[in-house]
Structure 1
Amino acid sequence: MDIPVGNKKFELSRGQATAILAVLFVGLVGLYGLRRDWGAAYGKIPKEGIVVQIPRGSSHREIAELLAAKGLVRSSLSFRILAARNFRRTLHAGEYMFEGRLSPKQIMRMLIMGRVYLHSVTVPEGYTIFEIADLLEKEGLATSKDFLEMASDPTLVRYLAPGAPNLEGFLFPDTYKFPKGIPPRRIAETMVKRFRVAWSKLSQDHSDAHLGPLGIVTMASLIERETAVAEERPRVASVFYNRLQDQVALGCDPTVIYALRLAHQYRGSLSSADMHFASPYNTYLHRGLPPGPIANPGAASLRAALEPEKTNFLYFVADAQGRHAFSRTLLEHNRNVMRYRQRRAEMNREQADAEPPLVPDHQQP
């Protein structure tokens, strides 16, 4: 076989020509095999899927070896070659959830698009920034310390509530989906944005506009922490507004709890001494609303703060059945308090009677 090179010709022996053809054949077969491998689903992935964390800064080789070790690709070398063919594309770091049998091409597409696994986290209505921080840490999305540090900066809500001391009240309770490694600021921004959407849907035409957005959100947070019964919220709001109008201290227990939490002194219950705890949040000591929200209210409590029921009530107390008894005078209120205590005592006796007696060890059969 003659092969022209410039003005010269080189003659290949039959053996050399055969060798070249063999190499080309093997190369073509290998390329065909690679293409088949890249397009074929592989791996025995369990029903719950396989979670893979791609560290930031990982090379193609490290990613390929990690995927092979997890049993997601047949060959790390094959995946590295596939990655080399996509050298213009970035393989994004992050946590990925692989479900069902996938081909290397499908996995490559996920990494190029950065389709990281999103963790669902539900923030209940009435959670404080402390409880949200603990929840995020439990879900592995942020440390409590980092999130609290972020939430202490009110910059994100300065446009709406210039006097807000922090982000309390503006982290809207809802279900969110976040990837691991997301900065705490991004989490806060997402929750504040959700608050803005909810706030924009509420009617701002109300009789207590003098409170302003910060006052309304603060009022809503008190309502949220006082009752979980939706239909009671406008009535609870009426009590607080009536007391504000009469310049009577609100006397809201949750504000005292919040004050103690801020000072890291809350022990799970309130004592009579706690009612005298020195704090601007203590609405037993100070008239008017506290300096800012004491929790993050949901849409129903925000609506109740904007549209309170019209009543003459000045007091309310729990009725030991999950609701509240409302009254207009202190005399009525004291009677309701007495009924509450009597009912609680009856419930404690009933519970004690229902429990089997303790049997000392030496009397057990």
Structure 2
Amino acid sequence: MLLQLWAGPGPAKANTTVVIAEGSSLTSAANELEKNGVIRSARFFTILSRVFGGGAPIKAGEYRFLAHSSQSDVLALLQGGKTLQRQIMVPEGMPSVMVYDLLMKAPGLTGEVQVPPEGTILPDTYAYNRGETRQAVLDRMQKAMVNYLAKAWQSRKPGLAIDNPRDALILASIIEKETGIATERRMVAAVYSNRLKRNMKLEADPTTIYPVTHGRPLGRRILQSELHAQNGYNTYAMLGLPQGPITNPGRASIDAALDPAPSNAIFFVADGSGGSVFADTYEQHDANVQKWRALRRARGEIP
């Protein structure tokens, strides 16, 4: 009879989340479980746990109990410490100001953080527990970037236009903002690498926008005054890479920066289908630009 009570279905009609506070005893945890409808009786749960539970301590945290979990399953979950893990997803190319927004809005996190330096976060999905600090989650995000960049740098291809990991990160951030198409990343990397090697201005629109919005969408066309602005980022008005990353690049863009396509291309423009067309000479590029403008006129996007 007791074993049937211990292993039989519990009263919860739906999956139920319960927080077991730090330092909780088995008795106080049982009271919390009864209050949330996971078990029928805290008193009987405590007694049966001592008879059948093996004596291992329970662990604090946020738990999700499945509907009709048996008392045996409930205790096993508490003793195993299999707490509910929440997640924060940082997409490739998300700027640090928006990562900060994610951290501040994430339910269950505690404490404050500052906006992290641009380019220090590796885009990925990060699990966290309720009650964890925002700084602890941010530290994991930044450690992941340090580790991946170091590993990628060790596997870099010879003959690059960049000679240190930070410049690789800056270049990768430009690649990330210039294309979302996986097959184009190495070609975009080739264009900017070739320009660096030829001492040409990069003339990358995202670097012009970054000082204006710090990574948030611009929502309008770039102004002529912004194209001429001297600010350490605008690559229309300066030679070389900007002074820092302009977003948090993902693994693929870092890899592309360290392994550009074997190409002589130094220009690219939209092809009208969501991708880009690349050119080795200004004459080729000008022809591609004219095709793009003609297509936009046909669509009624420009006069």
State the TM-score, normalizing by the size of structure 1.
0.69
Identity of aligned residues (%): 33
Change (3 A) 1:210 1:197: closer
- Could you list the runs of 5+ residues in structure 1 that have no partner in the other structure? 1-31, 153-165, 350-365
What pairs up with 1:158-173 in 2 under 5 angstroms?
166=117, 168-173=118-123
SS in 2 for 1:268: coil
Shift of 1:325: 2.2
Q: Is 1:234–1:307's contact at 8 Å kept on the other side of the alignment?
A: yes
Alignment deviations for residues 258-301 of structure 1 (CA, whole Å, 9 cap, x no partner): 22233x98643342133344432222222211222222223322
Counterpart residue identity of residue 226, structure 2: D
RMSD over aligned Cα, in angstroms? 3.2
Q: Distance in 2 between matches of 1:172 and 1:139?
A: 18
1:207 aligns with 2:159: yes
Q: Distance in 2 between matches of 1:284 and 1:50?
A: 56
- State the partner residue of 2:294: 342
SS in 1 for 2:128: strand
- State the partner residue of 1:247: 199
Q: Distance in 2 between matches of 1:276 and 1:45?
A: 64
- State the partner residue of 2:62: 95
Alignment deviations for residues 165-197 of structure 1 (CA, whole Å, 9 cap, x no partner): x3x334222333322332233323433444425
- Could you list the runs of 5+ residues in structure 2 that have no partner in the other structure? none
Alignment deviations for residues 53-94 of structure 1 (CA, whole Å, 9 cap, x no partner): 334455555432321122110102223446778898554332
What pairs up with 1:73-222 in 2 under 5 angstroms?
73-81=39-47, 90-140=57-107, 142=109, 146-147=112-113, 149=114, 152=116, 166=117, 168-195=118-145, 196-197=147-148, 200=151, 203-208=155-160, 210-222=162-174
- Counterpart among 9, 33, 53 of residue 41 in structure 1: 9
Shift of 1:238: 1.5
Change (3 A) 1:348 1:138: farther
Change (3 A) 1:223 1:267: closer
Change (3 A) 1:54 1:281: farther
- State the partner residue of 1:228: 180
Q: Is 1:170–1:192's contact at 8 Å kept on the other side of the alignment?
A: yes
1:70 aligns with 2:70: no
Counterpart residue identity of residue 113, structure 1: G
1:51 aligns with 2:42: no
Q: Distance in 1 between matches of 2:157 and 2:278?
A: 27
Q: Distance in 1 between matches of 2:297 and 2:108?
A: 44
1:274 aligns with 2:209: no
Change (3 A) 1:234 1:294: same
Q: Is 2:9–2:69's contact at 8 Å kept on the other side of the alignment?
A: yes
Counterpart residue identity of residue 306, structure 1: L
Q: Which one has the bigger helix percentage?
A: 1
Q: Is 2:207–2:234's contact at 8 Å kept on the other side of the alignment?
A: yes
Shift of 1:209: 7.2
Q: Distance in 2 between matches of 1:120 and 1:265?
A: 23
Change (3 A) 1:66 1:270: farther
Task: Name the structure, 1 or 2, with higher relative contact order (CA <8 Å, separation 6+).
Answer: 2
Q: Distance in 1 between matches of 2:256 and 2:39?
A: 56
Q: Is 1:51–1:96's contact at 8 Å kept on the other side of the alignment?
A: yes
SS in 2 for 1:52: strand
The count of corresponding residues between Structure 1 and Structure 2 is: 297
Shift of 1:97: 1.1
Counterpart residue identity of residue 35, structure 2: A
SS in 2 for 1:211: coil
Which has the greater radius of gyration?
Answer: 1
Change (3 A) 1:76 1:204: same
Alignment deviations for residues 78-123 of structure 1 (CA, whole Å, 9 cap, x no partner): 2344677889855433221111432223322322332111124433
Q: Is 2:95–2:216's contact at 8 Å kept on the other side of the alignment?
A: no
Q: Distance in 2 between matches of 1:141 and 1:248?
A: 49
